[in-house]
Structure 1
Amino acid sequence: MQKTLEQLVSAAQAGDQAALKNLVQEIQDQIHHLAMRMMVNPDDAQEATQEILILVITKLSTFEGKSAFKTWVYRVAANYLINAKKIRDKELGLTFDIFKQDLESGLDPKTSFSDTLSPNMASGEDKIWLNELRVSCTMAMLLCLDLKHRLAYVLGDILDFPQSEAAQILDLSTANYRKRLSRARNEVVAFTSRNCGIANSKAMCSCPRRLPAARKLGRIPEKGSGSSPAYALQDAPDYIAVIEDVQALEAELQTIKLQRATPTFASPQDFANKLASVLTQNNPRHDIPH
């Protein structure tokens, strides 16, 4: 019989290495998805995922069951993503103004505003790369928020945590979390509704107009290069389907729809065996720290 998450935690705390491996496998995809939405860069997200999982393992003996285990795991992850020096050092200092200027540089003048939302603009190989551009752009947009506001937004509007649980994860009162989320949401909604061609057909930037410049800058592989998408993975919503869904929504809901219309970003590595092996080598008398 398969153990519940709570049973896996208890067994792992008692030194059961098999339970520890299973526990890591249960949470690694969720942690990687959070890291991807916070950091965007796949390599950085993988590194952060490993570091967070190590923290979860080494702190596991301190978990007392006063909250749901998932809540506790996200709190460990949040503390790392906000406070780790290596995370802060990788921040680009991006602002919404800088991001806007970058998006509007090198737009294809041959593509008219009326063409940008046409399904005919997205066929064959271009459709794949338009979706890659859509996903990567909506994710990169959040880098314009500082880490604390970005995390509040990701927890609340992307991962859809109840405000009381998100507040607990961030060690805030519910009222203070609401304020932080509202501030982040207002900035993201305002930028999206003004500058994203999917949400606003009058915006200068749209995926079809941006694609040639993105290729030239190396942010999207050249046509026919044989490269695979890094962001628009197989479970990413279809480009045209997203456009059709978004057009029927109000500004705030458009933004949430766009930000949620990404893959699940399951961890590309199975960290369970890797981490258990490393910890066993470093601490041969114990499966986990007690």
Structure 2
Amino acid sequence: MDVETPLVDRARSGDRAALEALLGQVRPLVLRRCRRILPHPQDAEEATQDALLAIATKLDSWSGRGAFEAWAGMIATNQARMTYRTLKRRFDERGLDAVPEAADPARTSVMAGTRLDLLDAIEALEVRHRETVDALVMRDLGGLTYDEIATILAVPLGTVKARIHTARGFLRDRLSAG
């Protein structure tokens, strides 16, 4: 999917039809990204709606550096992480240690547990190595290339590689200790 810059420009200028078309084009990407992060379809759908709203309201903040899809994907990833934090906080406030009863056991598998462990580890990484999180998320959850990440973050390629190396080492240690 390649979103054309003229469509983005028209949406930025207030063309409602262009904005709807743009959001329609990026919705599958946003939903896929949210589903990669959140194990429950309802949670991914909620994060998708919030991400699309954020894309619409923050459209003027896209700098034009890198692909529009990469920018939208990063918003989706961040929104999915925020949704995860909110859900985790709700469970913690209720004193729940497990996935809610309404969860489908077929979908709440080792894979879901692994994703949740990874999200917890990323939260810890954010506290210890804040500058590495975006690069890691863009690469390992977003699938962006090192060059795309360097462009988006406006840092040298070597810095991107170093940040990802540091983040992966932290996560490896954190996940193997669990």
TM-score of the aligned structures, taking structure 2 as reference length: 0.63
- 1:176 paired with 2:175, answer no
1:238-276 CA-to-partner distances (Å, cap 9, x unmatched) read xxxxxxxxxxxxxxxxxxxxxxxxxxxxxxxxxxxxxxx
1:22-69 CA-to-partner distances (Å, cap 9, x unmatched) read 111111111111112212111111111111110100111222312321
* 1:80 to partner: Cα distance: 3.2
1:141 is matched with which residue?
114
- 1:162 paired with 2:145, answer yes
2:102 is matched with which residue?
none
2:85 is matched with which residue?
88
Distance 1:51 1:170, change over 3 A: farther
The RMSD of aligned alpha carbons is 3.6
Structure 1 unaligned residues grouped into runs of 5+: 100-131, 192-290
Taking the aligned partners of 1:44 and 1:170, their CA distance within structure 2 comes to 28
2:128 is matched with which residue?
none
Taking the aligned partners of 1:170 and 1:24, their CA distance within structure 2 comes to 24
2:60 is matched with which residue?
61
Q: How many residues align?
A: 149
Distance 1:48 1:4, change over 3 A: closer
TM-score of the aligned structures, taking structure 1 as reference length: 0.42
Distance 1:165 1:81, change over 3 A: farther
What is the DSSP-based 3-state SS (H/G/I as helix, E as strand, rest coil) of the residue aligned with 2:6?
helix
Structure 2 unaligned residues grouped into runs of 5+: 99-105, 126-132
What is the DSSP-based 3-state SS (H/G/I as helix, E as strand, rest coil) of the residue aligned with 1:40?
coil
Equivalent pair of 2:73/2:142 in contact (CA under 8 Å) = no
Map 1:11-30 onto structure 2 (within 5 A).
11-30=10-29
User: Which protein has greater RCO, CA pairs closer than 8 Å, 6+ apart?
Assistant: 1
Distance 1:160 1:143, change over 3 A: same
Map 1:219-234 onto structure 2 (within 5 A).
none
Distance 1:16 1:151, change over 3 A: same
What is the DSSP-based 3-state SS (H/G/I as helix, E as strand, rest coil) of the residue aligned with 1:90?
helix
Equivalent pair of 2:3/2:69 in contact (CA under 8 Å) = no
Report the structure, 1 or 2, having the larger helix content. 2
